[in-house]
Structure 1
Amino acid sequence: MAELTTIGHSPEPEQVQARSRTRRSIAEKIRAMGQNRIGALLLLLATAAAIVWANVSTGSYESFWETHLSVGVGDLRLDFTLHALVNDALMAIFFFTVGLEVRREFAIGELTSWSRAVVPVVAAVAGLAIPALLFALIAADTGHAGAWGIVISTDTAFLVGALALIGPRAPGRLRVFLLALAVVDDIGALSIIALVYTEDFTPLPLAIAALGLAGVYFTRYLRGGRGPVYATLAIIVWLAFLASGVHPTLAGVAIALLVPVYRPDRRDVEHALDLARTFRQSPNSEYARAAANSLRESISINERLQSAYAPYVAYVILPLFALANAGVVLSPEILAGAAGSALTWGIVAGLVAGKLIGVFGSTAALKALRIGEFGPGLTLDRLAGGAALCGIGFTISLFIVDLAIDDSAAQNEARVGVLAASVIAFVLATIVFRISDALRTDVDPGQTLVRPVDPARDHIFGSPDAPLTIVEYGDFQCGFCLKASGSIHEVVGELGDRLRYVWRHAPLEQYHPNALAGAEAAEAAALQGKFFDFERGLFADQDNQRPSDIVRLARELGLDVDRFERDLTSPEVTGRVRDDMLDAEAMGITSVPTLFINGRRHTGPYDAQSLIRALGAGEADSAQTAPLTVRPD
C-alpha cells in the first residue's frame, strides 16, 4: 500500500485506492487507544454519577452498597456487601489483568532489555518514593500518616485515556514509556498493599493458596480442558487469600504471574494453517474444531486472557468500582474541612507535585547523564507532560483509602484529595502539552528525519561516509516499495560511493498481515550479516512470506536456522523494528515508501532519474561536492 505524489502524472488506480484506505501504520495502537478513550470516559461518567448520587440521596447510596449478599452451601457460607463484592471480587479480575501485563512486559515486552527498561523503572521508583515522602511530611500530624500508599500509584486507564485526548502530536514513544512506567508502578503498589495493608494475617490458608498456585503453574501441561481447571484453581486461591487476611485481590496478581506467555511459535502457526486448509477442503465440525483449537493454542494463554478480559475491565469493572467508591458527599462543611485538612493537601501534593518531581526529575537526570534509551520524540517537554499525567491516581488510590483509613470523615477528606489531585494533574498536563506544541520550532513536522543516520545502528548499503543519503521507510510486502527499491539500486549503480542507502521499517500491518514478521525476520538475518540479502529475498517473493517461507529463505541464504528462529523472538529484534515504527509515527508516515533525501522528506516521483535530480539539488544546496551528472531520460 503506498501513497506518493507524482508530478505530471495521474496516480494509478491502485495508488488512489491506497490513498483512500491508508490511515496509520500501527492499527493495533489505534484500537487500543480507542478502547482506552472509551474506558476513561466511562470511568469519568461513573465517578460523576457516584458523586451526584451520594449528594442527591446520601442515604440510598450508602445503603445500596452496604446491601448484604450471602452465598454458600450448608454451613459453608460467604457474606458480602455489594461494596465488598466489587472491591474484593471484581477488582481481583482487574488486578489479574494488571498481573498479566506485568508478566508480559518482563517476558517479551518493553522491560526485557535493561537499556530500555532503566528509564521507566527509575522513573517509576522515584514516582513511588517522592510522593510518599511528601505525603508523610504534610500529613505527619493527622494521625493518618500510614495512609501514604494512597499517593503512590498512577491510574493506568485514566493515564492512557487522557494521553489519547490531550497528548502531543505523535505521542507513540511517550505512550510506550508511560505504559512501561505504569507496569513498574503497579508492581510497587501491589507489593505495598500486600506488605503494608494486610491485617489479621493467618498463614495456614496461604499453604492452600500455594498448592493452588502450583496447580495453576502445571495446568499449562494439560493437553485440553485447561479453562475449567484454571477457573477452579483461581477460585480456590482467591478463597485461600481471603481466609488468610491478605487482600484477596492479590490472588489475581499471583495467578497472572504464573500464566504462560510467549511469542507465537512458527511450527504452531504452520500447523494451524494446515488444519485451516484441511477444513477448507473438507468442511465438517471435527476439522472446524481442530482448526479453531490450533489457532487459539498458537497464541499464548496470557495474551488470550488479556484480550478476553480487557473489555470487561475497561467497560464494566472499573466503572463499577468508581460508582461504588467515588461517592463523596460535597457539602459545604465537608469541602471546608477538606480545604483545611493536612490529609487532603498531603494527597494533592503527593500525587500532583510528588509524581511530577519524581518522574520528571529522574528522567531529566538520566537524560543529562546519557543513561538508558530515550529515542526521538521523548523530549524533556513531553516527559514533563507525561509526568504531570502520572498524578492521576484514581483507582488504586481510592482502593487504598478504604484499606488505610477507618474513620468515615477522614475517608471523605481523602477521597476529595484524590479527586482534586486527578483533576489538577489532568489540567496541568494539558497546559504543559499545549505550551510544548506551541513552542516547538519544527514548522514542518515530518519533513525532517527525526533520527539521524547512525552507521552503528542502521542498515546501510554503500559507503557509510558517503556525502549523499537516501533513507527509505518501507514494507517488504508493498509493491510500490519493490519499485522504489529497484529505482534506488539504479541510483546506487550510477553514483557509486557518493551515495548511501538506508532501510528502515514501517510495516503496514492492517493491509499486509505478514509485513511485521518480514521486518523482524530481516532483523534476525541482520544479526548474521545478511540483512540486504534477506531484503532482496523478501522482495523477490512478496506473495509468500508465511513463517515456513521465511525460514526456507533463511536456509537458502546459508543462515544458522536454529539461531535465526531464536532471534526472531528476541527483544533486540522486536525492539529494533518497534523503534523504526515509532519513528515513522513521529514523522506522520502513514504510507510507504516514504523517502528522505539528505535528511529531508522527498515528495514527487521516485524513478531513478528523479531521485538523482533530487540528490543533485540537495548536493548543490549544501555545496559539499561537485554537481552531479544526470543521464538523459
Structure 2
Amino acid sequence: MVSKLFQKFFHSQTSGGITLIFCTIFSLVVANSLFSDSYQSLWHLDMFGHSFAHWINDGLMAIFFFLIGLELKREIFVGELSNIKKAILPIFAALGGMLIPAGIFAILNFNTDTLHGFGIPMATDIAFAVAIITMLGSRVPLSLKVFLTALAVIDDLGAIVVIALFYPNPELPLDFTQFGIAIAILLGLFALNKMKVKSIIPYIIGGIAVWWFMLHSGIHATIAGVLVAFTIPFDKDDSKSLSYKTQEALHIPVAFLILPLFALANTAITIEGGGFSHFSFPLAAGIFLGLVIGKPVGITFFTWIAVKLGLCELPTAVNFKRVFGVGMLGGIGFTMSIFVSMLAFNDPDYINEAKLMILVASVTAALLGFFYLKTTLTKRQDFSD
C-alpha cells in the first residue's frame, strides 16, 4: 500500500519538475539576451565572503539532500526498500544505471583531462523524471511510478556516495579535525534519537553544526544533509513521526524555492557563436551517450539479471519494455548531473560544456522516454511481456 507521504512526495516532485523546466528555459534565454551581464553578475554577488550561487550550491542544496535522506530513510523503514526481496529490484536497476553510463564515459574519456567527470552521467533527476511520467496520465500503473521513484532515490544515494568518495571540496584540503568534530556532533544527534528526543530544535542546531564543520573539512558539505536526515526520529506510524512532519514541511520549499534557485543559478550558460562546434568530443559524447544510451541499457540489463537469477520479481503491471522506458527517463540527469559537473572540473569551459550537454541529453532522454512509454503504455494496459 502506497503511503500518503509517498503520494505527496511524488506530486511535489511532479510540480517541482515542471517548475524546473520553466526556470531552465528562462535562465538560458536571459543568459543569452541583452540582460546577460546583469543576470550573470546577480549570481556572483558577494554575500558574507561567498557568491550568491555558492550559498545556493553549498548551503541550500544541503537541505535538498536532507530531504532525499528523509525519503530514503522512509523507503528503508516502510517503503520499497523495507523488504529485501522488494529492495533488490530497484537496487540492481540503480546499479546498472550508474555503472554502465560511468563506463561509457570513462571509455570515451580515457587518458584525457576530462576523465574525472565519470560521475556526471550516473545521476537521475527525480523531479524531472517524475514530471515526465506524470504527463502520461492514468495509463501509467502505480507500480511503475513506485519503481521509478525508488530507483531514482537509490540513484541519488549512489551519486551522494560518489561525491563523498571522488569529489571532495576542491577549495579545501581534507581536514580530519573538522571532519572528526562533524562526526562527533552527528553521533550526538543519533544519541538524541535513541533518547527519543522528539523536538526538532536540537536536530536543527546540530544539523547546522554538522554542515558547518563538514563544509570546512574538505568533504562536500551537502553530504551532511543526508547524514543528518538519518538522525531524525522515525516512527512506522508516519503521521506521528518527526521524520514525516519534517519531510512534509520541506516538500514545498525544496520543490518551489531551492531547486528552482539551483536551476536558475547553474543554467545561466552563455552559448557562444558556433553552438556545439567548440565542444570537446570525448566530454560531450561521454555525457550524451552515458545518459541517453547507458542509462536505459544499464537499468534494463541489470534488472533482467536480477530477475533471471531469481533474486526478485517484476512488480505487477511492469514488464521489461516498461523497465526500458523508465530507464530512458533515468537518463534525465539535470540537477544531480549539473551538481557533479561543478565538482568534477575546475576549468569553467569544461563546466559550461558539461552543463549544456547535460541539458541536451536530459531533454533528449525526456522526449524519447515520453514517446516510447506513450506507445508502450496503452490505455487498455496489457501487462504481458
User: Is TM more than 0.5 here?
Assistant: yes
2:244 counterpart (300, 303, 308): 303
8 Å CA contact 1:92, 1:248 repeated in 2: yes
Change in Cα spacing, 1:245 to 1:148, as seen in structure 2 (3 Å) is same
2 CA distance for matches of 1:167 and 1:185?
Answer: 24
1:49 maps to amino acid: F
Aligned to 1:258: 231
Post-superposition offset of 1:175: 1.0
8 Å CA contact 1:341, 1:413 repeated in 2: no
Structure 1 residue 67 corresponds to structure 2 residue 8: no
Structure 1 residue 37 corresponds to structure 2 residue 14: yes
User: Residues 216-247 of structure 1: CA distance to partner in whole angstroms, max 9, x if unpaired?
Assistant: 12223667782221221111111100111111
Greater shift after overlay, 238-247 or 58-67? 58-67
Aligned to 1:9: none
1 CA distance for matches of 2:138 and 2:203?
Answer: 42
Consecutive unaligned residues in structure 1, runs of 5 or more: 1-24, 71-78, 266-297, 452-633
Match runs of 1:112-511 below 5 Å = 112-166=82-136, 169-199=139-169, 200-220=173-193, 226-264=199-237, 299-338=240-279, 341-437=281-377, 442=380
Change in Cα spacing, 1:67 to 1:398, as seen in structure 2 (3 Å) is same
1:48 counterpart (25, 28, 49): 25
Post-superposition offset of 1:211: 2.1
Post-superposition offset of 1:182: 1.5
Post-superposition offset of 1:363: 1.6
RMSD: 2.3
2 CA distance for matches of 1:28 and 1:180?
Answer: 14
1 CA distance for matches of 2:142 and 2:176?
Answer: 45
8 Å CA contact 2:12, 2:251 repeated in 1: no
1:35 maps to amino acid: S
1:342 maps to amino acid: P
Matched residue of 2:271: which SS?
coil
2 CA distance for matches of 1:26 and 1:101?
Answer: 12
Post-superposition offset of 1:28: 6.7
2:258 maps to amino acid: I
Post-superposition offset of 1:29: 6.5
8 Å CA contact 2:132, 2:370 repeated in 1: no
Greater shift after overlay, 203-212 or 86-95? 203-212
User: Residues 378-398 of structure 1: CA distance to partner in whole angstroms, max 9, x if unpaired?
Assistant: 012211110100000011111
8 Å CA contact 1:142, 1:343 repeated in 2: no
1:349 maps to amino acid: L
User: Residues 52-96 of structure 1: CA distance to partner in whole angstroms, max 9, x if unpaired?
Assistant: 1211133223221111111xxxxxxxx221011000000000000
Aligned to 2:64: 94
Q: Give identity over the alignment, percent.
A: 35
In the superposition, the TM-score normalised over structure 2's length comes to 0.92
2:29 maps to amino acid: V
- Structure with the higher fraction of residues in helix conformation: 2
1:362 maps to amino acid: F
1:42 maps to amino acid: T
Aligned to 1:518: none
Matched residue of 1:204: which SS?
helix
2 CA distance for matches of 1:49 and 1:313?
Answer: 19
Change in Cα spacing, 1:259 to 1:414, as seen in structure 2 (3 Å) is same
Post-superposition offset of 1:32: 4.7
2 CA distance for matches of 1:186 and 1:373?
Answer: 23
User: Residues 365-408 of structure 1: CA distance to partner in whole angstroms, max 9, x if unpaired?
Assistant: 33444430222200122111101000000111111111111111
Matched residue of 1:337: which SS?
coil
Consecutive unaligned residues in structure 2, runs of 5 or more: none
- Larger-Rg structure: 1
Matched residue of 2:50: which SS?
strand
Structure 1 stretches of at least 4 aligned residues deviating more than 4 Å after TM superposition:
25-33, 221-225
- Structure with the higher fraction of residues in strand conformation: 1
Change in Cα spacing, 1:332 to 1:171, as seen in structure 2 (3 Å) is farther
Post-superposition offset of 1:124: 0.6
2 CA distance for matches of 1:399 and 1:224?
Answer: 34
Post-superposition offset of 1:31: 4.9
Change in Cα spacing, 1:30 to 1:109, as seen in structure 2 (3 Å) is closer
Matched residue of 2:237: which SS?
coil
Q: How many residues are matched?
A: 379
Aligned to 1:479: none
Aligned to 1:58: 36
8 Å CA contact 1:168, 1:437 repeated in 2: no
1:40 maps to amino acid: G
1:312 maps to amino acid: P
Higher relative contact order (Cα pairs below 8 Å, separated by 6+ residues): 2
2 CA distance for matches of 1:95 and 1:376?
Answer: 31
1:39 maps to amino acid: G
1 CA distance for matches of 2:183 and 2:4?
Answer: 41
8 Å CA contact 1:238, 1:248 repeated in 2: yes
1 CA distance for matches of 2:269 and 2:163?
Answer: 23
Matched residue of 2:333: which SS?
coil
User: Residues 566-623 of structure 1: CA distance to partner in whole angstroms, max 9, x if unpaired?
Assistant: xxxxxxxxxxxxxxxxxxxxxxxxxxxxxxxxxxxxxxxxxxxxxxxxxxxxxxxxxx
User: Residues 428-464 of structure 1: CA distance to partner in whole angstroms, max 9, x if unpaired?
Assistant: 11221122135x8x5xx59xxx89xxxxxxxxxxxxx
Greater shift after overlay, 415-424 or 159-168? 159-168
2 CA distance for matches of 1:189 and 1:47?
Answer: 22
